[in-house]
Structure 1
Amino acid sequence: MHVKQFRPEEWAVRSARLIHDAVLAASHRGDGCKVMLTGGRSAARLYLAWRALPGFDQLRAVEFFFGDERCVQLDDPESNYGLAMRTLFASGVPSGCSVVRMAAEGPDREGACLHYEGRLPSKIDVLLLGVGEDGHIASLFPGGALLDERTRKVAPVVGTKAPRERLTVTPVVIAQASSVFVLANGEAKAAVFRRVAGGADDFHALPACLVGGATWLLDTPF
């Protein structure tokens, strides 16, 4: 487990630089980089700061995916894809890069999951995750059956937080990622980190235990 603690006013920029460097490092090691994005208010702050970095527009051969998506229309404020397009890609997707979205707005959610799973690479190089005050990551909520999934990579889920109907990657994808960053703003999320760092290992009660080896990005003392 790794932790980076930044002052609240610096959190977005310094976290963005750290993630940007991880993307560049992965690109240098192989043929491009596979990045999985997340949603939420912390992600929006991070994406605005990342987009503003001098090197963002120079990224090449990066494929951006999503770890989960709400079953809403693309122009809905709750859409993770819409959030990324309004923030990280507000000035366009860097040349030679691509965005692969989860098509969660249609009625055939099982079909959408199969289609998206077919688009996923064998491994994500840089995985970004938000974390909820209840310890959920992606759309894997406490007590959810998908926490035990070991075959499928993408599945529909009914969460405990609105919008409840979603698509999400499963622990299979998370476990195979090379680098994982957890966006943990505020005291409530720092408290989740402290539980994981303190040895909590019941991922059914606290899904964040699945990423105990990640780099946690905090803006409060831990």
Structure 2
Amino acid sequence: MTRRSFGTKEDLALGLAEAVAGHLNDGIEARGQAVLAVSGGSTPARFFQVLGRNRTVDWSRVIVTLVDERWVSETSSRSNAGLVNEKLLQGPAAVARFVPLWSGGDEPTDAAIARTNIAINALPTPFDAVILGMGNDGHTASFFPGGDSLTAALTGEGPAIAIRAPGAGEPRVTLVLRRLLDTSGLYLHIEGEEKLATLEVASGDGPIEDMPIRAVLRQTQTPMNIFWSP
């Protein structure tokens, strides 16, 4: 596990975009295409904009999907897919293919999750880069403390499952840990002193269920790169 600190959010966005572009270019060179899985929320917007303007990447050979999603349509202001379309899939990156996790309907029923899993299972593996975020409660992806399917998210095959939790708001769909770790590049993107303090607590002793980011921090399968700025 490595940690890089940047002086500003702008510097972080540039550094992370450069690192991710490298993974995408490596994937394209090795197998003719690359897969990027990203997180939503407010933190990655600046990074998305910088990455989407990168002209060294052949975006026509890139597939973008999500780490997790609220079970809402892409027109909702709460949609991670909407954020990706607005901030990342613009300019040079507009030609990338996007694979959403929301597959329609008001609830993530078994049939809806099955449709999502067909789409995710069709993607090449390993992914080329996975970008995680983290909440102040220690959740990552939609691995929320108290989640009704948290154990399945941390130990199951997935590749995607539905999850509901007190802190999650809407029902969610999330890729399981096993699928997130199957990547050439694994990144945790966090900003602010509060997130850094949360990370310090999560890096210490304690149950994974209390702060599920610990499952990622403690795994030894895939090296974790932490990118942080104040």
Q: How far apart are residue 94 of structure 1 and its match?
A: 4.5
- Matched to 1:186, the amino acid is G
Contact 1:6 1:218 in 2 (8 A): yes
d(CA) in 2 for partners of 1:189 and 1:158?
A: 23
Q: How far apart are residue 19 of structure 1 and its match?
A: 1.5
d(CA) in 2 for partners of 1:68 and 1:17?
A: 23
Indicate the percent of aligned positions where both proteins have the same amino acid: 22
d(CA) in 2 for partners of 1:114 and 1:100?
A: 14
**Structure 2: gaps (5+ residues):** 218-222
d(CA) in 1 for partners of 2:205 and 2:27?
A: 30
The aligned residue for residue 105 of structure 2 is 106
Contact 1:104 1:167 in 2 (8 A): no
Q: How far apart are residue 177 of structure 1 and its match?
A: 2.7
Q: How far apart are residue 36 of structure 1 and its match?
A: 0.7
The aligned residue for residue 10 of structure 1 is 11
Asked if 1:154 corresponds to 2:155, the answer is no
| From 135, 140, 145, the counterpart of 2:143 | 140
Contact 2:38 2:64 in 1 (8 A): yes
Contact 2:141 2:175 in 1 (8 A): yes
Q: How far apart are residue 81 of structure 1 and its match?
A: 0.5
d(CA) in 2 for partners of 1:166 and 1:104?
A: 12
For 1:141, what is the secondary structure of its paired residue? coil
Q: For residues 33 and 54 of structure 1, do their structure 2 counterparts lie closer, same or farther at Cα, with a shift above 3 Å needed? A: closer
Count of aligned pairs between the two proteins: 217
Asked if 1:168 corresponds to 2:171, the answer is no
* Post-superposition CA distance 1:135-158 (Å, at most 9, x none): 111111013243322232211111
- Matched to 2:130, the amino acid is L
Contact 1:47 1:87 in 2 (8 A): yes
Contact 2:35 2:127 in 1 (8 A): yes
Alignment of 1:70-219 (within 5 A): 70-91=70-91, 93-95=93-95, 97-107=96-106, 109=108, 110-120=110-120, 121=123, 122-149=125-152, 150-161=156-167, 163-197=169-203, 199-200=204-205, 202-212=207-217, 213-219=223-229
Deviates most, 26-35 or 70-79: 26-35
Q: How far apart are residue 18 of structure 1 and its match?
A: 1.6
Q: How far apart are residue 123 of structure 1 and its match?
A: 3.1
The aligned residue for residue 23 of structure 2 is 22
Contact 2:24 2:36 in 1 (8 A): yes
d(CA) in 2 for partners of 1:147 and 1:10?
A: 34
Contact 2:39 2:66 in 1 (8 A): yes
For 2:88, what is the secondary structure of its paired residue? coil
Q: How far apart are residue 125 of structure 1 and its match?
A: 2.2
Contact 2:103 2:112 in 1 (8 A): yes
* Post-superposition CA distance 1:164-200 (Å, at most 9, x none): 2111112221232332111111112112322344x44
* Post-superposition CA distance 1:60-89 (Å, at most 9, x none): 421111111112222111100100111111
Contact 2:35 2:128 in 1 (8 A): yes
**Structure 1: gaps (5+ residues):** none
Q: For residues 187 and 123 of structure 1, do their structure 2 counterparts lie closer, same or farther at Cα, with a shift above 3 Å needed? A: same
For 2:22, what is the secondary structure of its paired residue? helix
